[in-house]
Chains A and B, each alone.
Chain A
Amino acid sequence: MMWIDEKSKQDLQLDQLLLRFQPWTPMGKKAKEKLTPFLPGQESDWQQLLEEQEVIQSHLVRYPKQVAQLESILQQIPDVEDLILQLESGYVPSLTEWFQIKQFLWYSRAWARLLTEMEIDNSFYFNKVEIETCANLLQHLNPSHPLRSTFSIADEYDPALKAARENRAHLEREKLCERESRAQIIEEQLQVRRNRFGEWIAIRGSQQEKKMLQINDLQLIRETTYDRYFELKPSKQQEKIEHELDQLNEKIARLEQKVLNQLAKTFRSAIPFFRYAHQKITHFDLQWARIRAAESWHGSKPTYSERHLEIQEGFHPLMAEKLREWNIEFMPIQVSIKSGVTVIIGPNMGGKTAALKTIGVNVALAQFGFFVPAKSCCLPLFPWIKSIIGDGQDWEKGLSSFGAEIARLTLCFQKTGPGLLLLDEIGRGTNPIEGSSISEAVTQYLMNKEFFSIHVTHYREVLHVKGVQGYRVAGLQTLPNYNGNSTQEMIQQLHKHMDYRLLPLRVTDTIPQQAIRIAELLGLPQAIISQAKQRLKSEVGLIDGTETKTGPSSD
């Protein structure tokens, strides 16, 4: 079963937020793509992962100088997972692949050393035996001193290889000397020097050409319309050396391959170490990447609670940042939610959807193993999370939006277990009378499920559902005066006057009715406003500015 669907991720802007989760190693980057949430039953693993982050973070703060080095080391560790898999199945790595393996060991060792320097517990990296294994493997790829990060098939691997290479160098020198002495004789004879490629050039039809053609030790190698090019003929001695060199080169190639085969054999027995190192590095990389991401929203460690989802001063990092651009502070939310239905009720623009997204993003980040954007957050591990949150544009789509919403809601009802369901204004896509009936009925239906449902609405009828828990948005305590500001300025004014706090609903609480006043402030023509006030008066017998007394029904 999918823990969170794509649409819910979009609603919560989760992927956008997780762009800040950037591991350094290629292995970490791969693991990031397969990130899974912690599920019920994994509570202790989850808490351990979070505690580890606390520990790592404290060391990173204490050793700021090492942090830059650590980043550079992690960025250079290559991913050798596939190579190790191939090695296991009998493959012999090539020159550049051995180099990659050496780089993996080289930087793993540097990483472990740096963590030791930072006094991080070695359970995060290697114990003494593993450090020794790493050093030994490095030695295998570095048979001569000093230890280098580079790799070559060194002479020291095999005395026979060394001897063969020395023999080859000797023969090549001999070949060169033999050619040089013969060439010098010819140069004296012709009084013409060779070019830098060892050729003699003669103009066609010249005396030099005639001379060159007569010298037995020279052969014509190419010609142009104007010139002829000659070089030394191979002598018997040279042919012999060439033949020996051919044989020697074949022997050297065999010996070099033997070295690589032997290395493969040795490294095959070290495959468990590579797997272990790979897993440790990836784990550390992901943990540090989680820490860095959560630092961007000043995250705090979430804790486990079996029955309650409780958030203190929670916020949505992206929404808070957006508001800050407009010089508006995001009002953090405070909620305590238990199994059943919790209703959040309040005026338009009252931040109800922001509250819903904040709850969702806190839960999602927590279960993916991140510190959360809240002062504190305790939660059970939810088996699934789903949201049905529209945006302003969906409203314009009318029936199609309503249809899509109902279709998604119907799918939600098939879910089982104590998952987290976040509903935003169910029924808003249709007429208010039917909308409020649907909203109330859905709330009633959800009361019989074991979900943790949170339903944001402005239909106060949902409060009639027996057993429902509730919060209300404090709303506009004072209404700003309309003084001909632009709509944009007016919206900013409203944001400033709006009290976004979520207050627990009590039986005696009142719900402010401020929609008509807000519409008026935003510049809806006065004729319409008067009409609306009249209608409201006649329908509910109340006048603008008074409040409807209401509250959740008691159990």
Chain B
Amino acid sequence: MNDLWKKITRLSIRSLSIIGLSKNAGKTTVCHALVQELKDHLRLGLVSIGVDGEERDHWSGLPKPPIYVSTGNIVATANTLFDQQAGNWEVLCHTGIHSILGEIYLAKAKQDTYIKLAGIPTLSGIQKVLSQMDRWGVDLVLVDGAYDRRVSASPGVTDASVLVVGASMGHSLQKIAAKVEETLHLFRLPACEDEKVHLFMQKAIEENCLYAKSSERWKALSYSSLLPMTQSEISSLSKYEGLIVSGALTDHNLRALLQKSPHLHIYVPDATHLFVSLATLRQFYRSGGKINVLKSINLLFLAINPVSPDGFSFNHEELKERLTPICSPLPIVNLVRE
């Protein structure tokens, strides 16, 4: 962790998303630790993605914590939140993006403080904020990704990600290990380097349709995505050699494809488009199928939090030991202990 800033600089990482694998995984603590680790070396920006805004988390009922901000950090949050501590901020610009709590502004902290981050509801909003942060000289933006908004880990949004695994995910080590394994498998899917596939993925996105390959030729299909297709329509896709899906690929879709034991090679833009379980995926592989992403996700480390807000906790060493073979060589860090 001590040399994290060097790694970030070396890899030219300009934005880093913090992804929780469950509610109350401990993202805020990770964010706090990252600010402390990096503040003396990099000009930091902080932003949150999601449709939040309530005082309390609607799922756990716990108060939403403010985020620690160090002097000179640039924060994107709602105007009303800056106004509540008027003396602490230098307002830099407005964004035209609206959150539940008001319009999102960018401001620089005049002293160390804590502030709540109002979630930016859209991907285009996050991209706009990232480019504005860049204009204001931010070296690295920490993107607090809301639970189930894995989209902020998309390589199209942030350059790298930190995965946060907390005891709040479940009281069984086995369950946690399985979830981590599944996520890591998807995040580590190999990136396809075939230029042709990249070209047709671009076309699929622009034309909003699926592309399929037969006899070495790619052609556009009349479907915009797998979502509106019936089971039998999806299973009929098994006749192709390749399939480019620019939208989501679900477990349901994959099971439909399995009905005709395909030798299909599926391409998705990145792992955030995959909503599939490891079990189905393994079955798909066994039947001869393959899945590739076009861009892989750059995971920096896995942060573990053995304590759940409901009072339950794992033994820190035991949790780490259980996850090490699954994660290796990805570093596992307990930011509270290390």
Q: In the complex, what residues of A have CB within 8 A of residue B312's CB?
A: 225
Q: Is A152 an interface residue (CB 8 A)?
A: yes
Instruction: Check B83–A150 contact: CB distance below 8 A.
Output: no
A169 to B338 Cα, complex, angstroms: 29
Residue of B nearest to A255 (CB): B87
Residue of A nearest to B313 (CB): A224
Q: In the complex, what residues of A have CB within 8 A of residue B87's CB?
A: 153, 165, 252-253, 256
Which of B105, B110, B307, B314 is A152 in contact with, Cβ under 8 Å? B110
Which of A151, A199, A226, A252 is B315 in contact with, Cβ under 8 Å? A226
A165 to B311 Cα, complex, angstroms: 40
A148 to chain B, nearest CB (A): 9
A59 to B312 Cα, complex, angstroms: 73
Q: Is B306 an interface residue (CB 8 A)?
A: yes
Q: In the complex, what residues of B have CB within 8 A of residue A149's CB?
A: 93
A367 to B337 Cα, complex, angstroms: 75
Q: Is B51 an interface residue (CB 8 A)?
A: no
A97 to B312 Cα, complex, angstroms: 45
Q: Is A284 an interface residue (CB 8 A)?
A: no
A194 to chain B, nearest CB (A): 11
Q: Is B178 an interface residue (CB 8 A)?
A: no
**1/0 contact trace for A157-192 toward B, CB 8 Å?**
000000001000100000000000000000000000
A199 to B91 Cα, complex, angstroms: 34
**1/0 contact trace for B304-328 toward A, CB 8 Å?**
0011000111111000000000000
CB within 8 Å of B: which A71-95 residues = 78, 94-95
Residue from A95, A195, A256 whose CB has the most chain B CB atoms within 10 Å: A95
Instruction: Check A96–B336 contact: CB distance below 8 A.
Output: no
Q: A94-B83, A99-B91, A225-B312 are in contact. Are A195 and B337 (CB under 8 A)?
A: yes
Sorting the interface of chain A by its residue count into under 10, 10 to 19, 20 to 34 or 35 or more gives: 20 to 34
Instruction: Check B316–A195 contact: CB distance below 8 A.
Output: no
**1/0 contact trace for A140-156 toward B, CB 8 Å?**
00000000011111000
**1/0 contact trace for A240-263 toward B, CB 8 Å?**
000000000000110010001000
Q: Is A387 an interface residue (CB 8 A)?
A: no
Q: A96-B82, A96-B105 are in contact. Are A196 and B33 (CB under 8 A)?
A: yes
Q: In the complex, what residues of B have CB within 8 A of residue A103's CB?
A: 94
Q: In the complex, what residues of A have CB within 8 A of residue B314's CB?
A: 226
Number of interface residues of B (CB under 8 A): 32
Q: Is A201 an interface residue (CB 8 A)?
A: yes
A99 to B90 Cα, complex, angstroms: 9
A224 to B167 Cα, complex, angstroms: 12
A350 to B91 Cα, complex, angstroms: 63
Q: Is B48 an interface residue (CB 8 A)?
A: no
Q: Is A197 an interface residue (CB 8 A)?
A: yes
Instruction: Check A201–B337 contact: CB distance below 8 A.
Output: yes
Instruction: Check B313–A151 contact: CB distance below 8 A.
Output: no
**1/0 contact trace for B79-91 toward A, CB 8 Å?**
1001100110111
Q: In the complex, what residues of B have CB within 8 A of residue A260's CB?
A: 86
Q: Is B198 an interface residue (CB 8 A)?
A: no
Q: A152-B91, A195-B337 are in contact. Are A225 and B313 (CB under 8 A)?
A: yes
Residue of B nearest to A161 (CB): B87
Q: In the complex, what residues of A have CB within 8 A of residue B93's CB?
A: 149-150
CB within 8 Å of B: which A97-133 residues = 97, 99-100, 103
Instruction: Check A226–B316 contact: CB distance below 8 A.
Output: yes
Instruction: Check B36–A226 contact: CB distance below 8 A.
Output: no
Instruction: Check A151–B82 contact: CB distance below 8 A.
Output: no
Q: A96-B91, A201-B337, A227-B316 are in contact. Are A153 and B105 (CB under 8 A)?
A: no
Residue from A150, A199, A260 whose CB has the most chain B CB atoms within 10 Å: A150
Instruction: Check A224–B306 contact: CB distance below 8 A.
Output: yes
CB within 8 Å of B: which A20-79 residues = 78
Instruction: Check B307–A224 contact: CB distance below 8 A.
Output: yes
A226 to B337 Cα, complex, angstroms: 13
Q: Is B274 an interface residue (CB 8 A)?
A: no
Which of B91, B103, B313, B316 is A95 in contact with, Cβ under 8 Å? B91
CB within 8 Å of A: which B79-116 residues = 79, 82-83, 86-87, 89-94, 103, 105, 108, 110-111
Q: In the complex, what residues of B have CB within 8 A of residue A95's CB?
A: 82-83, 86, 89, 91
Residue from B91, B103, B110, B307 whose CB has the most chain A CB atoms within 10 Å: B91
Q: Is B32 an interface residue (CB 8 A)?
A: yes
Which of B92, B111, B316, B335 is A150 in contact with, Cβ under 8 Å? B92
Show 12 A/B contacts (Cβ-Cβ < 8 Å), sorted by A.
A95-B83, A96-B79, A99-B105, A150-B92, A152-B110, A197-B33, A201-B337, A225-B312, A225-B313, A226-B316, A227-B313, A227-B316
A interface with B by C-beta (< 8 Å): 78, 94-97, 99-100, 103, 149-153, 165, 169, 195-197, 199, 201, 224-227, 252-253, 256, 260
B interface with A by C-beta (< 8 Å): 32-33, 36-37, 79, 82-83, 86-87, 89-94, 103, 105, 108, 110-111, 306-307, 311-316, 335-338
Name the 6 nearest CB pairs between A and B, nearest first: A152-B90, A224-B313, A96-B79, A95-B86, A99-B91, A94-B83
